[in-house]
Amino acid sequence: MTTLVIADVHGCFTELCNVIGPYLGTGYDIVFLGDLIDRSPEPDGDINVLTLVKDIDENPGKYGFKSSTVLRGNHEVLFLDAVECMDWELWKYNGGCIQARHTITDEFLDWMSGLPTHLVKDDFLFVHAGVKPNVPLEEQTEFDLTWIRQPFLKAKDHGLPYVVVHGHTVTNSEEIEYYGGRIAMDTGSFRTGKIGNLVLNC
């Protein structure tokens, strides 16, 4: 099996189309690592990204993909929490766009609410942020998987029997970086215009 992995999109709709285009019709699995929204550098970027990714997720064969998995990132968590509590300040502080608040309908909210926090495929664990070192996967919390930075990024060995593929923290090089036991894929799309993406044999 072959899997196309796409990291933090952050409303970069044009670049997302450029990334996906060459893989249409390949029969690959596709995995999104979360943070589809917020900090978008283009008008209507958030809603356009959500519309496309939701459609791919629900109809992967329409795009020539075998399957689709969209993971929950901390920006999806922030938005859902803001909707539930009707408190938008933390979401706005983290790059939330007021225009997006009024265009993301209940249909999108229901879909976002059902997104998983992780996916295991062969020897790979796909998550948005990372894992708490030396804690079994079944004991990891949503906060761990969608928000963690340290101590995961500093750990020489996270203690899980997988290569962890993650986004969330922009790499120093603004390129995909490979470490022992993990692959860091957040290339800072909202400021670099580059969405981290790679193809894995899994």
Q: Can you give the pTM of this predicted structure? A: 0.97
- Specify burial of residue 195 (Cβ count, 10 A radius: 0-12, 13-18, 19+): buried
* Residue partners of 51: CB distance under 8 A and separation at least 6: none
pLDDT the model gives residue 148: 98
Query: What is the distance between the alpha carbons of residues 7 and 127, in angstroms, rounded to a whole number?
Result: 10
Positions of the chain with pLDDT lower than 50, given as ranges: none
Res 130: pLDDT: 98
How high is the pLDDT of residue 101?
A: 85
Q: Quick one: tokens of 114?
A: 């059902």
Share of the chain above pLDDT 70, in %: 100
Averaged pLDDT score across all residues of the chain: 96
| Residues 152, 142, 30: CA angle, nearest 5 degrees | 85
Q: What is the pLDDT of residue 100?
A: 82
Share of the chain above pLDDT 90, in %: 95
- Residue 98: the pLDDT is 78
The predicted-structure confidence for 40-92, as pLDDT tens digits, reads as follows 999 999 999 999 999 999 999 999 999 999 999 999 999 999 999 988 999 99
32 vs 117: CA distance, rounded Å: 11
Residue 12: predicted pLDDT: 98
